[in-house]
Amino acid sequence: MAVFVSDFLPDSDPLSKLQIVNEGLDQSNAETEGSPYQLIEIADICAILKRRKSFSHKGTYGHALIIAGDVKTMGAALLSASGCIYGGAGLTTVSIPENGLTALNTLLPEAMYLDRAHLVKIKSLKKYDAIAIGPGLGKLFEAVCIVEELVVLKTPVVADADALNILSKREDLLLHLAKNSILTPHLKEFDCLFGKHKSWWERLQTARVMAKKLSLVIVLKNQYSFIIDQQGDVCINPTGNPAMSQGGMGDVLTGLIAAYVAQGYSPKAAAILGCYFHGKAGDELAVSHYNITASQLAARLPITVKSFLNNKTH
């Protein structure tokens, strides 16, 4: 059965194009048929996902830093941190305003805290295996300075939400992001970054060009998200559903992708695994839930991954 790009574009998009999608991520298919589009399948996830090994420890699974939250948007930071913790990062440190420390210690006692003042000390950031920035961060002077410091650091980041809004106003920062960074924009954030578009098809073409130009991965969020890699190839994620249409889902995804980067996955693999299991957890919850909260989804993640692995061994 043929699969088409248009199947994964919103029905309301009159300018969507009809193009065949290769099933699976086998690069030889893309080369043979000339299509840059691949549909992610279960076999692909099996090939990417690593099982946890005996005698491993927290250091085995990396240390992620989440830079997020402001006085009135602390929830976004907590949700992103929960995505990272439930996603399996060995250690998760969260940099939030100090007035959010009680909430962090209460809701996520597994997380550690980094004072915002330490973010300007570049050497102190080099110990982290993954850095995610943006959820609830705000766009005031302090937030802009943090983004500037990370660009100077030349360390790949997972950028979402307010980090993307800051980059959209500062082309000098966007063009100098470290290679292998991951951007996770929704429709409006994408258009702020790269200009207005008339259709999802146009956005997809722009994403392919910019991912190649900037040598990074773009996760263009949709019900079925597009993961565009540094070569401009597109992986289409088939999981996810309308029950997930509530605030905070993107924050959880940001933390989840950071967790996979911290565990040593490539940016592309981390984005694929993050999108797939984020959507699959939502699909499982939607069997018994009319709508799903971001907190519920985060807590479901390790159950979803374990169930996936168990099913593949039988």
- The tens digit of pLDDT for each residue in 68-91 reads 999 999 999 999 999 999 999 999
133 inside domain = yes
Output the average pLDDT for the chain: 93
Angle at 119 between CA 117 and CA 125, to 5 degrees: 140
Residue-wise over 52-71: b if at least 16 C-beta within 10 A, else e?
Answer: eeeeeeeeebbbbbbbbbbe
Which amino acid belongs to residue 8? F
Which structural domain range is residue 83 located in? 58-312
Distance CA 45, CA 269 (A): 9
38: β partners: 22, 235
pLDDT at 32 over 60: no
Alpha carbon of residue 210 to chain centroid: 17
Q: Does any domain span residue 212?
A: yes
pTM (predicted TM-score)? 0.94
Does any domain span residue 21? no
Closest CA to 69 of 32, 27, 111: 111
Considering the domain boundaries, does residue 201 fall inside one? Answer: yes
CB 52 within 8 A of CB 85: no
Specify the CATH number for the domain of residue 217. 3.40.1190.20
| Residue 245 forms part of a structural domain | yes
Share of the chain above pLDDT 90, in %: 82
Predicted local confidence at residue 15, as pLDDT: 54
What is the pLDDT confidence band of residue 314, given thresholds at 50, 70 and 90?
Answer: very low
Strands (DSSP E) found in the chain: 3-4, 20-23, 37-39, 63-67, 91-95, 112-113, 130-133, 158-159, 182-183, 217-220, 226-228, 234-236
Please check whether residue 41 lies inside any domain of the structure: no
pLDDT-based confidence at 61, cuts 50/70/90?
very high
Q: Is 77 helix (H, G, I), strand (E, B) or coil?
A: helix
Give the whole-angstrom CA distance, residue 219 versus residue 241.
17
- Residue 117's pLDDT is what? 84
Q: Is the pLDDT of residue 113 over 50?
A: yes
Measured CA to CA, the distance from residue 252 to residue 297 in angstroms comes to 8
Q: Tens digit of pLDDT for each residue in 165-203?
A: 999 999 999 999 999 999 999 999 999 999 999 999 999
pLDDT at residue 50 above 60? Answer: yes
What integer pLDDT is reported at residue 35 of this predicted model? Answer: 86
Do the strands 91-95 and 112-113 form a parallel or antiparallel pair, or are they unpaired? parallel
Structurally, the chain folds into a number of domains equal to 1
162 pLDDT exceeds 80?
yes
Residue 285, domain member (yes or no): yes
Do the domain assignments include residue 282? Answer: yes
Residue the block writes with tokens 């699969």: 3
